[in-house]
């Protein structure tokens, strides 16, 4: 399970979707003055070289965020994301760094990363960030142990690698726990879109137990090919903040056009 290294995939089309949604979520949630707790289950190393051997091996960064770096964004949310990417060059900033850039001084950041190399790297990436607390532990276990936080308001990002089939069930269990014990939180679940739709049973179970409004956002950059390969990804957002859809939709459509002429964005609101 610890063989996954995000360095091979950082800045791919899935990160573009996830990070635009993350910035939009934080923008909307921080409209309210009370402090917010941002919690991430699988935080990774924090920053990644877009020109590293790992990135070159897969080419995913070049086909994802790399295609956006020279794009002149018309949408304000997309422009903000691209400024953060340019500021981090030659690195690609992972979700912990993007969240810290978007959150306020009195917000709190709780980050979980189990990998023995990535957890210390994450601490190094955030060494000048006093709001951030890095936990080298399983993110699902930590969500049950550390949530709800003292802040009472929260955004939880759940984004495992899905290397094992059991991770789908773990996501259901974690969300069920959070919906019971931290109902004020907005929950954002990332998942890969793969042939034969292995994530669909997980999504069906989560939407059945959520008992709240959900926003289901997908970005596909190509048609499914054969039985393997991620052709897109999705974000299921439980209890989305006010006007999130209106904020994120134009940014994703503009980004999708820059990523691929065949890219398709879908945003569906689901009510209980």
Q: How many helices (H) and strands (E) does the chain have?
A: 10, 10
Query: Is 253 labelled a binding residue?
Result: no
Which of 15, 107, 159, 220 is labelled catalytic? 159
CB–CB of 14/190 below 8 Å? yes
Query: Euclidean distance between the first and final Cα of the chain, in Å?
Result: 34
Distance of CA 159 to the CA centre of its chain: 6
CA distance 95 to 45: 10
CA distance 186 to 163: 25
Query: Is 138 labelled a binding residue?
Result: yes
**Helix, strand, or coil (residue 239):** coil
Query: Is 159 labelled a binding residue?
Result: yes
Dihedral over Cα of 97, 3, 57, 251: its sign: negative
CB-based contacts of 56, cutoff 8 Å, min separation 6: none
Query: Is 52 labelled a binding residue?
Result: no
How much of the chain is helix, strand and coil, in % rounded to 5? 40, 20, 40
Query: Is 226 labelled a binding residue?
Result: no
Query: Is 266 labelled a binding residue?
Result: no
Tell me the HSE value of 171 on the side-chain side, using a 13 A CA sphere. 31
CB–CB of 252/198 below 8 Å? no
Query: Is 229 labelled a binding residue?
Result: no
15 assigned to active site? no
Instruction: Work out whether strand 91-93 and strand 47-49 pair parallel, antiparallel, or are unpaired.
Output: antiparallel
Q: Just list the catalytic residues.
A: 159
Binding residues for S-adenosyl-L-methionine are 19, 42, 95, 113, 138-139, 159
Binding residues are 19, 42, 95, 113, 138-139, 159
């Amino acid at each position: 399970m610890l063989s996954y290294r995000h360095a091979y995939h950082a800045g791919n089309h899935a990160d573009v979707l996830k990070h635009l949604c993350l910035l939009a979520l934080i923008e909307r949630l921080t409209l309210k003055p009370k402090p917010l707790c941002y919690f991430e289950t699988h935080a990774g190393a924090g920053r990644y070289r877009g020109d590293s051997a790992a990135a070159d091996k897969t080419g995913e960064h070049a086909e994802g965020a790399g295609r956006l770096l020279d794009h002149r964004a018309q949408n304000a949310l997309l422009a903000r994301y691209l400024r953060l990417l340019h500021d981090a060059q030659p690195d690609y900033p992972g979700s912990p760094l993007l969240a810290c850039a978007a959150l306020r001084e009195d917000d709190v950041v709780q980050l979980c990363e189990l990998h023995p190399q990535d957890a210390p790297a994450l601490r190094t990436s955030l060494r000048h960030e006093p709001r951030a607390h890095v936990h080298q532990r399983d993110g699902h276990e930590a969500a049950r142990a550390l949530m709800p936080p003292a802040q009472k308001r929260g955004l939880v990002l759940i984004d495992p690698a899905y290397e094992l089939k059991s991770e789908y069930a773990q996501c259901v269990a974690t969300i069920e726990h959070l919906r019971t014990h931290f109902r004020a939180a907005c929950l954002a679940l990332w998942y890969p879109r793969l042939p034969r739709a292995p994530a669909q049973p997980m999504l069906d179970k989560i939407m059945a137990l959520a008992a709240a409004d959900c926003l289901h956002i997908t970005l596909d950059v190509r048609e499914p090919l054969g039985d393997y390969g991620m052709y897109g990804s999705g974000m299921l957002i439980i209890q989305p903040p006010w006007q999130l859809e209106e904020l994120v939709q134009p940014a994703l459509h503009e980004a999708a056009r820059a990523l691929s002429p065949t890219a398709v964005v879908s945003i569906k609101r689901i009510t209980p």
